[in-house]
Structure 1
């Protein structure tokens, strides 16, 4: 019975696309343009239909060439092509206003062939014959989960051969037909989407909020046609196929959510943006699913007459990007009503004006900055607006607008003004303020509040000003989606408290007021004690996390204290810090330097001259630096301001599980009260169920609670006796073993968390836990090896898997009498084979791959054919013969390498040329050709340390052609380039 990736996931998903209104496109007999894989006949028919014009074949073939030219570059990540399909063009390629007029198709295993390499996505999506995206699927519980596809995707994005294809793709999906595992930091299961963004591509969850009804009927003859075209007709009546065909499988639900025709068209038109910033360069981003649902809710509420509302999306969820995406949707929304739109983005600080302006400008918007009430009034009254298709944002800083400012305005009524008010938890009081005056002056305006922390004060709250919530996306979902981290609060060490009491001459239980605290903590002696502690603590933090790129922030109790702390680090400290205060110079440059830049020569690690940044009021909102993971809090913050401050360390970074707060002022009570009220707001004010909402805050007590839970989970296993523990693992399946490993891993993490919190960890048997973790990891490796061995659908290299323990297991289970040999002797032979494979210096060779397949069959024999001594004897003979053949192949490679003075790159090139021209060339004639080419290499580019591909091709085309010509082989340009690619791949490979 066929039961593999194709039968279990790919074909059911293809048929689900048919349910959604797609057609199935067979490759058989199709005319496909090999430059961009455009299906020519479908393209021509669709473009004529869309444009209601009978274009000649020449015109349409010229259009296909134009697409090839637009995508064939290494600079713009497909921006020129994207603008071609989404903006006005003389010939329309996609109808975004009426999606049903387009032709949507799916293709199975369409080959995308570059000069040297190729790839075949499981399912390619065509719109009007143009490959516009694809979906890669894996069977459930596949090796390495969806990470296997992410790795493959990143590799493809780095292959220059494939760039023109990825410049054409807009939406790409991945699924292994499993639910999301929200507890895992590494995404191994679930369904994810992205848009091509080079090596910076990120992979997003999609959690459906508005279920789409799907008719599960598919015509019987269509099912048969598609299965026949994929040689899988035999699965048609199996129960497994019928189960996997259901619309509610995880993969099919994901396809419904992302690739339903109207959704896909929306994401292409409104959900993709090119961001060109000084720090990161040109990037291509795609809308996150909460942004999508917020915009759809906004449209729905506007259609019902809403004028004011709040979008509550937690910090780090991309509110500026949301405003950008929304403006494009709303521009078209009101254009259909014959209204011109004018957009405003309102902030309350000058630094936020600069930040927002940069964000919008990097997305291609025209920016008008306004920082006075007079300029604002003038802008409001001006009837001048950009064209209906122009992206313009008026960014306003109201910080200096007086609270009683009133402006008499006579506004144009045929212009729809839309105001995005950033961080509406601050400064927007209901009476006597800028906002109240604005609401009175422009009652027809639309006011959209953006916040991660709404005001919950008793006297008024955010929704008193903005009527209702449009959409909400709280911490619990953001953490599950991997956009934010939980926060761990750490108390200060006992010895520091003792030192501080001595410095301040305080008794054990004595407390001081906030005002006294601000005064005494500015003393030189206190600052010296504090800074020494912070420096030691942060060095230990980096050591435990094993990451020197991490950064810290100190939130001081006053600007005077901040300056003294900066002076200490400048004069006494070993860590370099930046001081960012309102009246300091160079704040923007300091912020950028602290964020750091990636160093391509050091594994793309972030590098910065600053380890830390010292602040008072600045940077507590709106400042994002992913490397900032430890915050030293020296003053109290209240309610929403506290949550904003804590959010400075909640951005994901590498594999860190938390952001860390070192609490010098005991924020616990304030935080718990604030968080309680926000949870109540979610559950009561907006009807959130609340069962899946959890706190974002972790402290040492919760870590200790975790340890108790872990010890309960591991209670049945004897960690005090590792031999007994190892025997308990024997009968367990891989899933249970992984659960044990996860518990032991978390136990180690809790140990480290308590160490960083300066807690006593002497009663935790960390050495025994570490050794138990090794035991369970070894057992999992054995189970993985067995699974890989059994899996004909697996593309893993069998020689990468340690099979020794697996072979021992097979022998012990079968209870074979090994009187004629020993277990160690068998394992020694297996080790010899593995070492022989490893030492072979041409592992792309077909002969080498064939030997690997023989090895896999021999290892299987240890399990299936070891019921007698005779069978084992035969297996060992086969193993010895395999070992001998590997040695012969390696010796042959080494002999050939010696002819090239020890350069095994030339040996591999020799073998590829000999294989390609085996009917014409002997080893001797191949060697003579190679000598001619090598001589020219030494003459023409031998003095260049790392010649680029362009140099190699320019200098060596003629020498290669001439060398083959001497042996009577006339080569065309493509054949010459094929040979040159061998040299770039094996001899001059970059990086």
Structure 2
């Protein structure tokens, strides 16, 4: 291997080496690896891999329903007004699963079909494929494309400071071209590759930044903390000192982290006329998982208390949502009731709308102390929203509460 080749491919090779250590199947075109079969370069999914994975995760699927499941996320079959509309529709199927009718011995009933096994990471097939060529409005060739079960879920564009003056900017610009988001008069790229996409990454050797599909250049962010792991863990895995590129790729693409981020740390929000996809920053990922760990492992109710500090505009409402998503999905917590208290009416409305869009049907609004008592008295699995000012009691209400408390103590 020549020195020039090594320098030009530094960021890409370092990334592929890390995926190898993370136990991905790595297909390297430069090394003449045999690639997964495709009928044509217009085909975005690795269909053979997808069909094999669907059958493995849902072994009861018959051939007819297997074909239906494939077609439901096949870009050519998706009816959408734009890239973000298509991406949201596919995301819901990947996370909420789909339902197909099939007789499993007790008559034809709706059966849940999963594209990804979130509970058992090793039951999925993870592939990192470099130099993936796709035909769209034009031919594009991505540096690294990451697949889960034959579904392309990330594109990584690699640049090097030895050959680029602004490697991050150039990598992101290329990602925007691939998505046909630069606003040029002529269409470009191959946006159907991104219908199933969950992460975009710009990597430049010593560092990297990431964002969801459709994100403007200014919102790409580095990932600086590999929680729940350490830099030493990454160094032990790779045999070299970890830099910021290693930390981001390890933190996002370690298998259990990747599934967690897709399932529990991704939301879509309407901002004006635009649908925006948002994923957690490393601070939110760390805070939510630390909070969840305390809730699950604390010795007493008092030990479950905690505070997460946020600066203004840092995403505290999203942190609440991400934590709520994980709490609701944990089977051992038996579908808990969630109470969300905010200090502004507009924030209460915003969080309520976001919760509804993310699978929390009919969040209830508590009008005050008595109303809250009634709402939490019976059953579980409720999502209750309220604002702090609703609990400013009148003197008469305070006296009634004192009387009630005294009566309860006597009884």
8 Å Cα contact 1:48/1:54 also seen in 2: yes
Match of 2:286 in 1: 293
Offset, 1:173: 1.3
For residue 197 of structure 2, the aligned residue among 169, 188, 204 is 169
Q: Secondary structure at the match of 1:21?
A: coil
Report the Cα distance in structure 2 between the residues aligned to 1:201 and 1:372, rounded to whole angstroms.
Answer: 41
Match of 1:150 in 2: 172
User: Structure 2 vs 1, CA of residues 401 and 288 (structure 1 numbering), >3 Å: closer, same or farther?
Assistant: same
User: Structure 2 vs 1, CA of residues 351 and 175 (structure 1 numbering), >3 Å: closer, same or farther?
Assistant: closer
Report the Cα distance in structure 1 between the residues aligned to 2:71 and 2:351, rounded to whole angstroms.
Answer: 39
Offset, 1:30: 3.1
User: Structure 2 vs 1, CA of residues 146 and 301 (structure 1 numbering), >3 Å: closer, same or farther?
Assistant: same
User: Structure 2 vs 1, CA of residues 280 and 408 (structure 1 numbering), >3 Å: closer, same or farther?
Assistant: farther
For residue 193 of structure 1, the aligned residue among 210, 217, 222 is 210
User: Structure 2 vs 1, CA of residues 42 and 350 (structure 1 numbering), >3 Å: closer, same or farther?
Assistant: closer
Match of 2:305 in 1: 308
Please say if 1:74 is aligned against 2:81: yes
1:328-365 deviation per Cα after TM superposition (whole angstroms, max 9, x unaligned):
011123x224x221111113454543454455456564
Match of 1:551 in 2: none
Offset, 1:200: 7.5
Offset, 1:198: 5.7
Offset, 1:258: 1.4
Please say if 1:31 is aligned against 2:34: no
Match of 1:126 in 2: 147
Report the Cα distance in structure 1 between the residues aligned to 2:241 and 2:365, rounded to whole angstroms.
Answer: 50
For residue 9 of structure 1, the aligned residue among 2, 8, 11 is 11
Match of 1:248 in 2: 242
Match of 2:224 in 1: 207
Match of 1:377 in 2: 373
Please say if 1:353 is aligned against 2:374: no
Report the Cα distance in structure 1 between the residues aligned to 2:307 and 2:38, rounded to whole angstroms.
Answer: 49
Q: Secondary structure at the match of 1:263?
A: helix
8 Å Cα contact 2:156/2:202 also seen in 1: yes
The residue correspondences of 1:524-535 to structure 2 (distance < 5 A) are none
Match of 1:744 in 2: none
Aligned residues: 366
Q: Relative contact order, CA 8 A, sep 6+: which one is greater?
A: 2
Query: Whose Rg is larger?
Result: 1
8 Å Cα contact 2:226/2:248 also seen in 1: no
Offset, 1:24: 1.6
8 Å Cα contact 2:157/2:172 also seen in 1: no
The residue correspondences of 1:434-583 to structure 2 (distance < 5 A) are none
Report the Cα distance in structure 2 between the residues aligned to 1:202 and 1:22, rounded to whole angstroms.
Answer: 28
Report the Cα distance in structure 2 between the residues aligned to 1:130 and 1:64, rounded to whole angstroms.
Answer: 10
User: Structure 2 vs 1, CA of residues 264 and 36 (structure 1 numbering), >3 Å: closer, same or farther?
Assistant: farther
Report the Cα distance in structure 1 between the residues aligned to 2:344 and 2:237, rounded to whole angstroms.
Answer: 57
Match of 1:477 in 2: none
Match of 1:723 in 2: none
Unaligned runs of 5+ in 1: 179-189, 219-244, 387-391, 410-431, 442-991
Report the Cα distance in structure 2 between the residues aligned to 1:393 and 1:324, rounded to whole angstroms.
Answer: 13
The residue correspondences of 1:220-299 to structure 2 (distance < 5 A) are 246=240, 248-277=242-271, 279-299=272-292
Higher strand share: 2
Offset, 1:147: 0.6
Offset, 1:201: 7.7
8 Å Cα contact 2:344/2:387 also seen in 1: no
Report the Cα distance in structure 1 between the residues aligned to 2:218 and 2:193, rounded to whole angstroms.
Answer: 15
Report the Cα distance in structure 2 between the residues aligned to 1:376 and 1:315, rounded to whole angstroms.
Answer: 28
Report the Cα distance in structure 2 between the residues aligned to 1:32 and 1:62, rounded to whole angstroms.
Answer: 19
Report the Cα distance in structure 2 between the residues aligned to 1:363 and 1:266, rounded to whole angstroms.
Answer: 15
User: Structure 2 vs 1, CA of residues 291 and 29 (structure 1 numbering), >3 Å: closer, same or farther?
Assistant: closer
User: Structure 2 vs 1, CA of residues 107 and 45 (structure 1 numbering), >3 Å: closer, same or farther?
Assistant: same
Match of 2:160 in 1: 139
User: Structure 2 vs 1, CA of residues 200 and 82 (structure 1 numbering), >3 Å: closer, same or farther?
Assistant: farther
Match of 2:108 in 1: none
8 Å Cα contact 1:72/1:164 also seen in 2: no
The residue correspondences of 1:709-728 to structure 2 (distance < 5 A) are none
Offset, 1:325: 0.9
1:471-519 deviation per Cα after TM superposition (whole angstroms, max 9, x unaligned):
xxxxxxxxxxxxxxxxxxxxxxxxxxxxxxxxxxxxxxxxxxxxxxxxx
Report the Cα distance in structure 1 between the residues aligned to 2:155 and 2:234, rounded to whole angstroms.
Answer: 21
8 Å Cα contact 1:46/1:102 also seen in 2: yes
**TM-score with structure 1 setting the length:** 0.34
Match of 1:65 in 2: 71
Offset, 1:136: 1.3
User: Structure 2 vs 1, CA of residues 371 and 107 (structure 1 numbering), >3 Å: closer, same or farther?
Assistant: same
Please say if 1:48 is aligned against 2:55: yes
8 Å Cα contact 1:192/1:203 also seen in 2: yes
8 Å Cα contact 1:123/1:136 also seen in 2: yes
8 Å Cα contact 2:252/2:258 also seen in 1: yes
**TM-score with structure 2 setting the length:** 0.78
Report the Cα distance in structure 2 between the residues aligned to 1:361 and 1:31, rounded to whole angstroms.
Answer: 40
Q: Secondary structure at the match of 2:209?
A: strand
Q: Secondary structure at the match of 1:24?
A: strand
Offset, 1:309: 1.1
Offset, 1:318: 0.6
Report the Cα distance in structure 2 between the residues aligned to 1:350 and 1:62, rounded to whole angstroms.
Answer: 44
Q: Secondary structure at the match of 1:111?
A: strand
8 Å Cα contact 1:171/1:193 also seen in 2: yes
User: Structure 2 vs 1, CA of residues 62 and 201 (structure 1 numbering), >3 Å: closer, same or farther?
Assistant: farther
Report the Cα distance in structure 1 between the residues aligned to 2:264 and 2:43, rounded to whole angstroms.
Answer: 24
1:742-776 deviation per Cα after TM superposition (whole angstroms, max 9, x unaligned):
xxxxxxxxxxxxxxxxxxxxxxxxxxxxxxxxxxx
User: Structure 2 vs 1, CA of residues 125 and 332 (structure 1 numbering), >3 Å: closer, same or farther?
Assistant: same
Offset, 1:300: 1.6
8 Å Cα contact 2:132/2:145 also seen in 1: yes
Report the Cα distance in structure 1 between the residues aligned to 2:52 and 2:8, rounded to whole angstroms.
Answer: 31
User: Structure 2 vs 1, CA of residues 199 and 256 (structure 1 numbering), >3 Å: closer, same or farther?
Assistant: closer
1:5-48 deviation per Cα after TM superposition (whole angstroms, max 9, x unaligned):
55322123212101111112367463225454222332222222
Q: Secondary structure at the match of 1:32?
A: coil
Report the Cα distance in structure 1 between the residues aligned to 2:293 and 2:247, rounded to whole angstroms.
Answer: 23
Match of 2:106 in 1: none
Offset, 1:400: 5.0
User: Structure 2 vs 1, CA of residues 12 and 355 (structure 1 numbering), >3 Å: closer, same or farther?
Assistant: closer
8 Å Cα contact 1:175/1:191 also seen in 2: yes
User: Structure 2 vs 1, CA of residues 165 and 343 (structure 1 numbering), >3 Å: closer, same or farther?
Assistant: same
Match of 1:329 in 2: 326
Match of 2:24 in 1: 22
Q: Secondary structure at the match of 2:4?
A: coil
User: Structure 2 vs 1, CA of residues 7 and 316 (structure 1 numbering), >3 Å: closer, same or farther?
Assistant: same
Match of 2:385 in 1: 394
Offset, 1:216: 5.6
User: Structure 2 vs 1, CA of residues 41 and 356 (structure 1 numbering), >3 Å: closer, same or farther?
Assistant: closer
Question: Cα RMSD (Å) of the superposition?
Answer: 3.2
User: Structure 2 vs 1, CA of residues 251 and 299 (structure 1 numbering), >3 Å: closer, same or farther?
Assistant: same
User: Structure 2 vs 1, CA of residues 14 and 396 (structure 1 numbering), >3 Å: closer, same or farther?
Assistant: same
